[in-house]
Amino acid sequence: MDTTHAPGAPVGMVMNPTAQWIFTVLHFAVAIAVTVWLWRRWDRGETRIALLILLGGGFTIVAEPFFDRMGYIWHATVNQWTFVSMFGHSVPLWMFPVYYWFIGGQTLYVLNRLRAGATVRDMWRLYAVFCVMDTVLELPILYVGGVYTYFGNQPFWDAQWFPLPGWYIFANGELPFTAAAVVLLLSSLGDRRYAYSIPIAIPLVTFAVYAAIAWPIWAALNDEGSTLVTHLAGAATILLALYTRQILAVACVRTVAGGGAQTFWEATSPHRKRSGAAELATS
């Protein structure tokens, strides 16, 4: 097996220069706008927690080359503005702000919903929304082409009609819930100083959970399994994603109900620009 990049990778794929400029400027602008909005509208203590979460989302990009290698994704490397390159796969600069505001932002929303009293059923609804958002975000880019592509004997996928493998939708939708769960875990330890480990903890746990979900399809793709095998493996990955979704939903809801979020946030529903700082601000 090729040890530099996934077998069959379209290594000659040329980055669309217009798309690269647009995505880079657009996503950095969104990331900056989200940061400024939080800083101006939220209580300073909550803003600090929010920025640590956004950074954790951004730092998760270090896992992208490994995910790409194992899951058969190829970002066009010719003329690419590379941010990180490992395992024979390179990730463009514009992906960092995507992780920052999209994954980090979704994680913030999950946590706010949980603190406002969301139920397990609410978390399932939100999961469905995030799966749709991932699909809507990716499909136009894939249809246009020249930026990145999926390849190999992918299940639940058609290179022309539906170029986003179905198993990815379920796995990607789990990312913000995994990040939210580890933030709540750190808060439940009862020491505000653990908040500063959020940017490390989010990539760490995201990598572990994503690998635990995706290992069946990763194994099938890298063993160059038949269409039947990859579809069975893809179905197994989807089931693991759904199982993980239920476990984390119950764990998060119960953690918040038991006061586990109070170390990092005030023991009230989330509000913007409250008087007084959140607990972290006093540390």
Q: Determine the Cα–Cα distance for residues 150 and 55; give it in Å rounded to an integer.
A: 27
**Domain membership flag for residue 12:** no
Query: How confident is residue 281, by pLDDT bands cut at 50, 70 and 90?
Result: very low
**Domain membership flag for residue 194:** yes
**Domain membership flag for residue 64:** yes
pLDDT value of residue 95 = 96
Query: How confident is residue 247, by pLDDT bands cut at 50, 70 and 90?
Result: very high
**Domain membership flag for residue 164:** yes
Q: Flag whether pLDDT at 198 surpasses 60.
A: yes
Q: Flag whether pLDDT at 73 surpasses 80.
A: yes
Percent of the chain surpassing pLDDT 90: 82
Do the beta carbons of residue 147 and residue 76 sit within 8 Å?
yes
pLDDT value of residue 273 = 52
Q: Flag whether pLDDT at 63 surpasses 80.
A: yes
**Domain membership flag for residue 182:** yes
Say which residue the tokens 């139920």 belong to.
Answer: 119
How many structural domains comprise the chain?
1
Least confident of 19-28, 35-44, 139-148, 160-169: 35-44
Buried b / exposed e along 64-89 (16+ C-beta atoms within 10 A): bbbbbbbbbbbbbbeebeebbeebbb
Pick the more confident residue, 258 or 268. 258
**Domain membership flag for residue 277:** no
Mean pLDDT of the chain: 91
**Domain membership flag for residue 93:** yes
**Domain membership flag for residue 47:** yes
Tell me which residue of 243, 223, 244 sits closest to 233, measured CA to CA. Answer: 223
Domain that holds residue 222: 17-269
Segment 64-72 shows an average pLDDT of 96
